[in-house]
């Protein structure tokens, strides 16, 4: 089965039927460079399938899926790589050490690596089973250091994931495939270190449920004291007006009618009320962060770089899809789509107008989270959760500290609020 890269929230748009499977959620990545929020099964059915088979919430990218194997399209990389496909390895094979140690699957048991005088090292290691994860201690790094990590399969059919953690076991960066179109499955991470000074760690694991094993080679290069740029505000433009031939990179091309409340439930005649409530939810989720929220109802489309979130249409496998997982918001122009018709009859009971606004608002915030670099987590109160059922969208959710979903990595936490602060800053705060 081919891998799918999609930052999306995959949920089952309709309550389960036929033995309780139709409509079950499965959160994860879907190939193609976008992230989606999948559909899920309302109680009392099991809310979540396995990690990879998971459906992203209203979008960890933006779509919730009913069935199938989806995965995150985590295109992680803050800085531009000048050579196509990443810079080549240069050390002769005969002198590259093998640093794979048994049991190095936690930060406490991580394999220590030593950088040379130029701040680099190349080494080989092996993924021997689907439960194998290798953790490497990169040593002490400081805020402003540039960290470049190139992971490449050298034997077998290994499809590797790579992640960087600080010593709190908090995720700093994640990458599955270095190209959004999945033409190159090897991870590449190129970031500026944020946070406090301390030990940082590289984790490598097989893509979940891929059944792929093999040897891989890692190039690590650290450039000290490059510096951290001040975060820039992010403009988000909510497109309620629809349009023709709307192209979202890595996602698709859509013809969308203007948003109509009747398309999501029994709210005919209350379109303006529903839009207002949805916008209030989104604004509340990003309160305190340097995010500027605009609307096609009130504002012209900005000429400055901005994200557009489109509302309309239907997808059988997702509530929403985001273009990519954009580490530290390196691209201020990536977009997302919320498939509003998928919310019709998607819950165990008919939501009130305020509850439907909460569901669509949570989903939209989830997708914007992907575009700011967030991945899926496993905690029902977390906006980036991808493991709970559709009805979870009807409750208050926030950007908070939560365990990574197993479709992302076998260990680690995501401090969503901290990552958003690093990406776009806090409102009213200047350096």
Domains in the chain: boundaries: 93-223
Q: What is the DSSP letter of 344?
A: T
Interval 218-229 mean pLDDT = 98
Pick from 70-74, 100-104, 351-355: least confident:
70-74
Q: CA–CA separation, 153 vs 297, rounded Å?
A: 49
Other C-beta atoms closer than 10 Å to the C-beta of 427 total 13
pLDDT at position 33 is: 46
Pick from 24-28, 275-279, 293-297, 392-396: least confident:
24-28
CATH 2.60.120.380 holds for 93-223: yes
pTM of the complete model: 0.83
Q: CA–CA separation, 319 vs 392, rounded Å?
A: 13
Q: Is residue 44 over pLDDT 50? A: no
| Tokens, residue 237 | 């433009």
Query: If you search the block for the tokens 């691209």, which residue do you land on?
Result: 331
Interval 351-357 mean pLDDT = 98
Using the CB atoms, write b or e for 250-287: b if 16+ within 10 Å: bbeebebeebbbebbbebeebbeebbebbbebbeebbe
% residues pLDDT > 70 (the chain): 77
Between 36 and 4, the higher pLDDT residue: 36
Number of helical H runs and strand E runs in the chain: 3, 20
Closest CA to 281 of 396, 380, 382, 358: 358
pLDDT at position 12 is: 46
Torsions phi, psi of 56, nearest 5? -75, 150
């Amino acid at each position: 089965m081919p891998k799918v890269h999609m930052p999306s929230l995959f949920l089952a748009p309709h309550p389960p039927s036929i033995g309780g499977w139709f409509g079950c959620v499965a959160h994860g990545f879907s190939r193609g460079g976008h992230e989606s929020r999948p559909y899920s099964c309302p109680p009392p059915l099991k809310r979540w399938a396995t990690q990879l088979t998971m459906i992203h919430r209203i979008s960890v990218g933006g779509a919730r899926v009913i069935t199938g194997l989806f995965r995150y399209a985590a295109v992680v990389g803050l800085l531009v790589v000048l050579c196509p496909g990443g810079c080549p390895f240069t050390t002769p094979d005969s002198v590259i050490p093998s640093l794979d140690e048994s049991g190095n699957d936690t930060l406490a048991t991580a394999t220590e690596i030593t950088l040379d005088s130029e701040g680099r090292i190349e080494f080989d290691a092996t993924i021997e089973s689907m439960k194998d994860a290798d953790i490497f201690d990169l040593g002490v790094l400081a805020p402003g250091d540039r960290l470049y990590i190139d992971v490449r399969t050298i034997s077998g059919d290994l499809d590797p994931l790579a992640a960087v953690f600080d010593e709190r076991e908090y995720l700093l960066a994640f990458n599955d495939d270095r190209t959004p179109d999945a033409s190159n499955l090897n991870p590449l991470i190129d970031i500026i270190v944020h946070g406090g000074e301390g030990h940082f760690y590289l984790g490598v694991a097989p893509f979940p449920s891929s059944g792929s094993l093999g040897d891989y080679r890692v190039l690590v290069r650290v450039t000290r004291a490059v510096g951290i740029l001040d975060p820039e505000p992010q403009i988000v433009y909510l497109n309620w007006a629809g349009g023709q031939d709307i192209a979202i990179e890595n996602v698709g091309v859509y013809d969308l009618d203007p948003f109509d409340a009747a398309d999501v439930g029994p709210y005919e005649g209350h379109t303006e009320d529903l839009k207002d409530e949805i916008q209030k939810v989104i604004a509340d989720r990003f309160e305190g962060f340097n995010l500027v929220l605009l609307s096609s109802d009130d504002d012209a489309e900005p000429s400055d770089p901005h994200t557009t979130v489109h509302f309309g249409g239907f997808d059988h496998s997702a509530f929403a899809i985001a273009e990519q997982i954009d580490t530290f918001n390196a691209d201020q122009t990536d977009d997302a789509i919320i498939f509003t018709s998928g919310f019709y009859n998607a819950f165990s009971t008919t939501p009130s107008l305020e509850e439907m606004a909460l569901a669509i608002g949570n989903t939209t915030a989830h997708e914007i989270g992907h575009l700011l670099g967030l991945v899926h987590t496993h905690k029902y109160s977390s906006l980036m959760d991808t493991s709970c059922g559709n009805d979870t969208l009807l409750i208050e959710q926030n950007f908070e500290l939560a365990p990574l979903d197993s479709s992302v990595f076998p260990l680690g936490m995501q401090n969503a609020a901290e990552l958003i602060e690093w990406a776009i800053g806090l409102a009213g705060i200047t350096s």
